[in-house]
């Protein structure tokens, strides 16, 4: 549905920071998305010692899938995409130490609850059809005006 070039229009990450290769499907009513990330040596988190990406980076794959879902939603409403922040990660479980180069991770996210700007998501990652990671992410969307205000306040208190 969305390839890498199109992803850069809906996800705030570019270049090596973009950890999605493709969006396969999404459902805005059900607030779900399925994406892929093909693991290569070009990945920002690639570690040549282990020949792949440490499993802990999987939470960022999930976070970017959430950002993609938000970006698609904003695009459909003809609004500017919002910036998101991870507030917490919980119940993260993994079945592997790393994602090996040459494999493709399938990332599935589903919004389980939402209140104003804060949402909870369930995330799962599959390799060759087998679930290898799952967890929950709490995220907050912020409008550009809110972010500028936070930055200004932070600078004043530094």
Specify which residues 130 forms β-bridges with.
127
* Calpha distance 91→123 (Å, rounded): 10
d(CA 63, CA 54): 16
Domain count, the chain: 1
CATH of the domain at 74: 3.10.129.10
- Secondary structure element (H or E) that encloses residue 103, with its range: none
pLDDT in tens, 18-42: 999 999 999 999 999 999 999 999 9
The whole-number pLDDT of residue 63 equals 96
The CA distance from 62 to 98, in Å, is: 15
Dump pLDDT digits (tens) for 44-83. 999 999 999 999 999 999 999 999 999 999 889 888 778 8
User: Rounded to two decimals, what is the model's pTM?
Assistant: 0.89
Q: Within a 13 Å sphere around the CA of 146, how many CA atoms are in the beta-carbon half?
A: 9
The span from the CA of 125 to the CA of 108, in Å, is: 6
Q: Domain span at residue 26?
A: 2-156
Q: Is residue 66 within 8 Å of 84, Cβ to Cβ?
A: yes
pLDDT at 144: 67
Contact 9, 15 (CB under 8 A): no
């Amino acid at each position: 549905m969305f390839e890498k070039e199109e992803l850069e229009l809906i996800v705030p990450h570019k270049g090596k920071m973009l950890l999605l290769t493709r969006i396969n499907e999404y459902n805005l009513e059900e607030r779900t998305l399925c994406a892929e990330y093909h693991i290569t040596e070009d990945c920002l988190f690639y570690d040549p010692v282990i020949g792949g990406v440490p499993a802990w980076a999987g939470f960022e794959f999930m976070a970017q899938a959430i950002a993609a879902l938000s970006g698609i939603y904003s695009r459909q409403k003809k609004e500017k995409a919002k910036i998101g922040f991870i507030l917490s990660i919980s119940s993260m479980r993994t079945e592997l130490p790393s994602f090996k180069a040459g494999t493709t991770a399938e990332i599935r996210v589903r919004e389980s609850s939402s209140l104003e700007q804060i949402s909870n998501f369930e995330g799962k990652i599959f390799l060759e059809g087998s679930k290898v990671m799952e967890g929950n992410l709490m995220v907050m969307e912020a409008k550009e005006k809110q972010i500028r205000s936070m930055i200004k306040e932070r600078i004043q208190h530094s």
